[in-house]
Amino acid sequence: MRLNGTMVPITCRAVVMDIEGTTSAARHVYDVLFPYARRQLPAWISDHGDEPVTAGAVREVADQLGVSIDEVDAVVEQLQSWIDQDVKAAPLKALQGLIWEQGYSQGALTSHMFDDVPPALHEWHSAGIPLVIYSSGSVAAQHALFANAEQGDLDAFIDDNFDITTAGPKREAHSYQRIAQQLGIPAPGLVFLSDVQAELDAASEAGWQTVGVLRAGEEQATVAQELRVASFTDLELRLG
């Protein structure tokens, strides 16, 4: 890791990673995944409306709107407007996960990973460091994303996944406390990698180590802390 121009190793018992802006380009989400889900939503709901996850999501949106579940157009419109405004609503995340999964399995989608990510995951995994993902995208979407990377199937390297329904919001310390508890690892043994300072601050407040990821071209990144890397190549993780 670069700290004032030098490499600094981090000792940890597990590494927890954000996806968007950290392992994968944010533009992939906004330019590829969101528009794909937006286009596929009406057909998905009409083809899969009887299946439990889809039916549950439709019911949740309809309840929020105060309309009947038969008012599919209103439900679709609401979901699409959440996509447009990047609202992290649970029923939307659930449906997007299913739609992307189908897109990947049909070969219509592959996911972006920065080129330094696969070798780093391989190296850390080989060193016996558990690799954990914490992203606002649903756990199903996380599996699909890692399994369908441009560089091949990376999901096998991932030991655990958390999302906002299983852990809570990413800018709240309590979410990181919950993850530490679920992993059974004391906070100081965990290191969180993210491109968003508010998330790093929340993890830090929970007692975690944090490393900012500030990649070239990722304009949404808000990393302000000194401990940061521009690539996973600069990060030397040791199990301890």
Binding residues for Mg ion (CB under 5 A): 18, 20-21, 195
Q: Residue with structure tokens 């944090």? A: 210
- Pick between residue 61 and residue 218 the one whose CB is nearest to Mg ion: 218
Q: Closest approach of Cβ 55 to Mg ion, in Å?
A: 31
- Closest residue to Mg ion, based on beta-carbon distance: 21
Q: Closest approach of Cβ 111 to Mg ion, in Å?
A: 15
- Pick between residue 4 and residue 216 the one whose CB is nearest to Mg ion: 216
Q: Closest approach of Cβ 204 to Mg ion, in Å?
A: 16
Q: Output the six-digit token pair for 192.
A: 């969180």
Across the chain, the runs of DSSP E, i.e. the strands, are 2-3, 6-7, 9-12, 14-17, 131-134, 160-162, 190-194, 209-213, 228-229, 236-239
- Pick between residue 18 and residue 163 the one whose CB is nearest to Mg ion: 18
Contact 195/215 with Cβ under 8 angstroms? yes
Q: How far is CA 18 from CA 24, 96, 221, in A?
A: 9, 18, 12
Q: Closest approach of Cβ 19 to Mg ion, in Å?
A: 7
- Pick between residue 21 and residue 97 the one whose CB is nearest to Mg ion: 21
Contact 13/190 with Cβ under 8 angstroms? yes
| HSE, side-chain direction, 13 A CA sphere, residue 98 | 20
